[in-house]
Amino acid sequence: MTENIKFPVLSCTPKQVEIYDSTLRDGSQGEAISFSLEDKLLIAGKLDEAGFHYIEGGWPNPTNPKDLEFFKRIKSSGIKRSIVTAFGSTRRASNPPEKDSILLTLLNADTEVITIFGKSWDLHVREVLRISLDENLKLIEDSVAFLVSEGRKVFFDAEHFFDGYKADRDYALKTLTAAESGGAGIVVLCDTNGGMTPFEIEMICHDVRNTIDGIFGIHCHNDAGLSSANTLTGVIQGAVQVQGTINGIGERCGNDNLCTTIPNLSFKLGISCMKAEMIKGLMGLSRFVSEIANEYHYHRQPYVGESAFAHKGGAHIDGVIKNARTFEHIDPQIVGNQRRFLLSEQSGSATVLAKLKKIYPDLDKKGPRVKAVLTELKKKEHEGYQYEAAQGSFELLAARVIDDYKSPFSIGGFRVITDKRKEGSMVSEATIKLMVDGAEEHTASEGDGPVDALNGALRKALNRFYPKISSVHLEDYKVRVLESDEGTEAKVRVLIESSDGVDVWGTVGVSENIIDASYIALVDSLTYKLVLDKRKVEHTANE
C-alpha cells in the first residue's frame, strides 16, 4: 500500500523545528498594513495561545515609540508559552558597542532573546554601509559579543545571505563564523530578496552545515513564489529554526507563510514544530490576523483558505462523499478548516444533499424535498443568482422550501437618499421600517454610500430586538453586472461576505437596481446570523 510508504529525510534533517514568528515586525512592513499598539498586543496573545516558540515584537528605538511601549506592555500581558524577542541591527560602524544607541535600546527592551541582522553580501557592505569587508566582520562579532556579555541570548540574521554566498562564498560564510565567534546562539540564513530556488537553497545550506560549528535557521521571502519550498528545503538540509509570518504578510511579495509551512512540516515531513491541538486553531489565527490587519482573507490560501477544501466539480463531489481521500490531501479539520461543496448550475441532487446533510440529516437524495430545493435552485440561478459563495442565502432558500421558513422580522419599506454637500462630500441616508412580532421600529442611518447607509439602518433597527446583530460586520462586497449589453438597465448580482468574529457566511442578491440587490443580500446576511444563533442555542440545549 503506497500510503504506508515513509519517504526518508536526510540524517541531518532535524526531528523538531522551532517556529519564529515575525508578523509584528516583518509583517507590518507589508503594503497597506499598519498595526496599532493594541493590535500588536492582541496578535501576540493569539500567537502565544497557539504555542509559537518565538514572537518578534519589533524594533525598539527612540524613533519608534510604539514598539518601545510594546515591550513595556508585553511584560504584563500574560504571555506564557512564547519567548518575545527584540529586533535590531548590528552597531553603527562609528560607535563602540557599549556606546551604540541601537544596541543599548535593544538591551532596554529587556527581552531574554535579541535578534540582530548584519550584512553578509559584500555588495551591501561596500555600497550601503560603505565600510571595509573586515570592518563589517568586526562589527558583527563585537555587536553579538556585547549583547551576550549583557546576559542576552542572541540570534543573528544574516541578511541577504544567499545572494551574498553566490557573489562571494567565502565572505558570506565568514559573516556566519564572526557571529558564532561573538556567541550567537543561532545564525539564520536569509533570502532577503526572495529570489532563490530550492536547488540553490539545498546546495548552499549543505555547504553551511559542513562549514559552521553551530546551528542555523532559515528566513525566506516570497518574491519568486518559492518561499515555502525554500523553507522546507532549508529544514531538510538541517535548519532548526523557521522564521516567517502569519498569512505570509510582509514587504513586497511577503515572507514565508507559516500557515502553510507549519502544516507542511508537521504533516508532510513529520517534523515536530507545534502541538496538534494548536495546529487545529491555525485557520482561526489566520482569519484573526487578516481581520486585525484589515485585509481580505485570501480564500485560496493552502490549508487555511476558505477554498482549500471547497469542491465544485460533480465528479469531485461524488468522490469526496464516497471517500474524502479521493480529492483531499489531508483532513481539513486538523488545521481548523472544513469541507465545502459549492453549488453551481451543474449541481445535482447529491451536491444539494451534501450541502444540507448537517442541517437535515434525514434527507433522502431521491426524496421530494431534495428535488424541490433543486428545482428552486435552478429557478433562482436562471434569474441570475449564484450560490457557490453564498452558503447563507442557499440555506435560507432550502429552509423556505423544506420548512416553509419565515423570517423573524419583516420590512415595511425603506428609502435611501444621497446628498452632495456644499463642501463637495457625498452623504447617503437610509430610513427603514421593520416589524418583529407586531412591534415596529423606524430608524435612519447615514453612510459613506447608499449601501453603507442601508446596512447601518437595518442593523440599527434590528439591534433593539436582537442585540447580537451588532457583532456582524461586512468583510467583502462585490457587484457583478450580469447582462452588460443591457447598459444601465442590466441586472446586477451583489455578493456579500459577513462575519460575527466566529462564523463567516456569504449571501447574494440580484436585481436591475443595485440598491435592491444589495438590500436582498443584506437582509439574508442578518437573517442568517439569527439562524446561526438559534442553532447554537438548540445545539447547547441538546448536549
Report, in angstroms and rounded to the nearest whole number, the Rg of the chain calculated over CA atoms.
28
* Residues in CB range of 114: below 8 A, 6 or more apart: 85, 86, 87, 88, 106, 107, 147, 152, 153, 154, 155
pLDDT above 80 for 542: no
C-alpha cell at 229: 519550498
pLDDT above 80 for 234: yes
Identify which of 335, 194, 329 has the alpha carbon closest to the alpha carbon of residue 258.
Answer: 335
Report H helices in 51-85: 65-73
> Any idea what DSSP says for residue 127?
I
Choose between 344 and 522: higher pLDDT: 522
Task: Please give the mean pLDDT across all residues of the chain.
Answer: 91
Instruction: Compute the distance between CA of residue 385 and CA of residue 491 in angstroms, rounded to an integer.
Output: 10
Instruction: Compute the distance between CA of residue 155 and CA of residue 143 in angstroms, rounded to an integer.
Output: 11
15-274 maps to which CATH number? 3.20.20.70
pLDDT by residue (tens digit) across 433-475? 999 998 999 999 998 889 899 999 999 999 999 999 999 988 8
| Confidence class for position 232, pLDDT limits 50, 70, 90 | very high
C-alpha cell at 231: 523553507
| Confidence class for position 274, pLDDT limits 50, 70, 90 | very high
| % the chain with pLDDT above 70 | 95
Of 71-80, 183-192, 379-388, 515-524, the range with the lowest mean pLDDT is 379-388
pLDDT above 50 for 1: no
| pLDDT given at position 345 | 53
| Confidence class for position 118, pLDDT limits 50, 70, 90 | very high
DSSP characters over 367-414? SHHHHHHHHHHHHHHHTT---TT-HHHHHHHHHHHHS----SSEEEEE
| pLDDT given at position 2 | 41
Locus of grid cell 538541517: 238
- For 141-175, what is the HEC assignment? HHHHHHHHHCCCEEEEEEECHHHHHHHCHHHHHHH
Instruction: Indicate the residue type of 279.
Output: I
| pLDDT given at position 507 | 95
pLDDT above 70 for 133: yes
User: CA separation (Å) from 257 to 157, 247, 436, 498?
Assistant: 18, 5, 47, 25
Q: What is the longest distance spanned by two Cα atoms in the chain?
A: 83
Burial class of residue 419, CB neighbours in 10 A (0-12, 13-18, 19+): exposed
Instruction: Compute the distance between CA of residue 226 and CA of residue 254 in angstroms, rounded to an integer.
Output: 11
pLDDT above 70 for 68: yes
- Strand, coil or helix: 320: helix
**Average pLDDT estimate for 417-446:** 88
In this structure, which long-range contacts are made by residues 383-387, counting pairs with CB atoms below 8 Å and at least 24 apart in sequence?
A: 383/510, 384/482, 384/491, 384/493, 384/510, 385/493, 385/508, 385/510, 386/344, 386/493, 386/495, 386/508, 387/343, 387/344, 387/508
| Confidence class for position 160, pLDDT limits 50, 70, 90 | very high
Q: At what angle do helices 133-149 and 169-182 cross, to 10 degrees?
A: 20
- Strand, coil or helix: 436: strand
**Average pLDDT estimate for 2-30:** 84
| pLDDT given at position 65 | 87
| % the chain with pLDDT above 90 | 68
By the 8 A CB rule, do 356 and 394 touch?
Answer: no
